[in-house]
Amino acid sequence: MAIKLPPLEKKLSKAVAHYWGTLLKQSEKGAESDRGNRSAVTGGKQMDGFCQLVQWVLVENGLPEPSIHTRTDLELPGYFRPTKKWDMLIVQDANLIAAIEFKSQRGPSFGNNLNNRSEEALGSAVDLWTAYREGAFGKQKPRPWLGWVMLLEECPSSLAPVKVAQPHFEVFPEFRDSSYAKRYELLLRKLLLERIYDGAALILATADEGPKGKFSEPVKDLSMKRVLAGLAGHVASYEAAIK
């Protein structure tokens, strides 16, 4: 079964613009009772445009829309905790086909948030894969596909070199004087290298140009197109395996 990958640029641009527009609306709504960016960060829904993009590609490739969950029924059993709520699940015929997270980060606290995102990405995946090993999702084949999409604010603070503390042992050389954007790139690439995730994308957008839908993808191997191609191919392989 050949996969279909329609032109993505306009819908990806729309997803980026939706993110920034939603942040602005959430900030305005919470301005009277909140401080800083907390309303924008905790309001949710800002990554809905990316969910819609993935859903569109999957439906174009013949996946039944009821198999795609983006609003409700997003919980999966874990091994170290009862459940974990994902941003998107694809479940068909009682088989878990894919689970995807859509995350974002804007300034100013890049350092703390990067550490939190790293721990979250690792913890969620380890929990799922261990639960999978223990039969939480039945005896399905092929194994589920995991994806992680990251939208990062492009600004001087996210692009500047950052010092790293080495009080006892040296860190790996690639982390020395690396920016937060570079560290996200390293994180996602290593998650793929270790097969902790099957697809990952890193998208950058500035606060000025993002609302207009302008963005950049700094590295080709972490592009949204590559994520969607991999996911569509996995879905096609699943469909072929069950026939």
pLDDT digits (tens, 9 = 90+) for 91-150: 998 899 999 999 999 988 898 899 999 999 999 999 999 999 999 998 777 899 999 999
4 falls within a domain: no
2 falls within a domain: no
221 falls within a domain: yes
What is the extent of the structural domain holding 181?
9-242
45 falls within a domain: yes
Long-range contacts of 210-214 (CB under 8 A, 24+ apart): 210/16, 210/17, 210/19, 210/20, 210/153, 211/17, 211/20, 211/21, 211/24, 212/17, 213/13, 213/14, 213/16, 213/17, 214/13, 214/16
Number of domains present in the structure of the chain:
1
CA–CA dist 40, 214 (Å, integer): 20
Residue 41 has what pLDDT?
43
1 falls within a domain: no
Is-above-0.85 flag for pTM? yes
151 falls within a domain: yes
3 falls within a domain: no
Render pLDDT for 22-77 as a digit per residue (tens, 0 to 9): 988 887 776 544 444 443 343 358 999 999 999 999 998 889 999 999 999 999 99
